[in-house]
Structure 1
């Protein structure tokens, strides 16, 4: 079973994602901020990380940089989750902010699963 880490400061967003992913057979880890997400990524080594752009502690950009600079976990694919498309310009400017995709809020379940399966090769 593949493991996905969801990092979002909004409980409802985490619940929606967790429900959709759990029903599709994924193990789901949750973090309410970027610092916890980074720590969980190091500890649990998920197959995929889904990061909200705007979070307390570490933003999605800071968390991406932390993951990309850590040799233990820099291979983990990252999908950015945002309601503000203009925030995406900050990603993929350099290898330390490289992402594999984005999910636009509000979510549609079929789009979430399609994007995740494409990134994971399922």
Structure 2
């Protein structure tokens, strides 16, 4: 079972994403920011990270994970997402689109 880590400072976003992905059969953990996320990552490397770039430590975490773990950036700021070199999911997003994107990213591992 693939392991997905959801990092977002908004509890409701984490809850909705976790429930949608768990219902699709993936194991999901969540963190509110970069420091908490790094603790989880040090315990078990996720197969995919869904990262809100604007959460505490988000940009630093993206830099640390680059090339090590697949990352999808979730953001409402399309301009900030330009040129990141990673997949971007613009908020607000459709849960079906989220599941398709996660399925696609995980099928490549």
Q: One fold, TM greater than 0.5?
A: yes
TM-score w.r.t. structure 2 length?
0.91
Measured against aligned partners, the alpha-carbon deviations of 1:81-101 in whole angstroms (never above 9, x if no partner) come to: 001111112512xxxxxx2x1
- The CA distance in 1 between the partners of 2:26 and 2:8, in whole Å, is 18
Work out which structure has the larger RCO, using CA pairs closer than 8 Å and 6 or more positions apart in sequence: 2
1:107 equivalent to 2:74? Answer no
Structure 1 length-normalised TM: 0.82
> Alpha-carbon deviation of 1:117?
1.0
- Whole-angstrom CA distance in 2 between matches of 1:51 and 1:22: 17
After TM superposition, the runs of 4+ consecutive aligned structure 1 residues lying more than 3 A away are: none
| Residue 7 of structure 1: aligned partner | 7
Count residues with an aligned counterpart: 108
Unmatched 5+ stretches in structure 2:
none
* Residue of structure 2 in register with 1:95 after alignment: none
- Counterpart residue number, 2:35: 35
Residue 51 of structure 1 contacts residue 78 of structure 1 at CA under 8 Å; is this kept in 2? yes
Could you say what secondary structure the match of 2:55 adopts? Answer: coil
SS of residue in 2 equivalent to 1:63: helix
Q: What corresponds to 1:63 in structure 2?
A: 61
Partner of residue 69, structure 2: 76
CA RMSD of aligned residues (A): 1.4
How many angstroms apart in 2 are the aligned matches of 1:37 and 1:43?
10
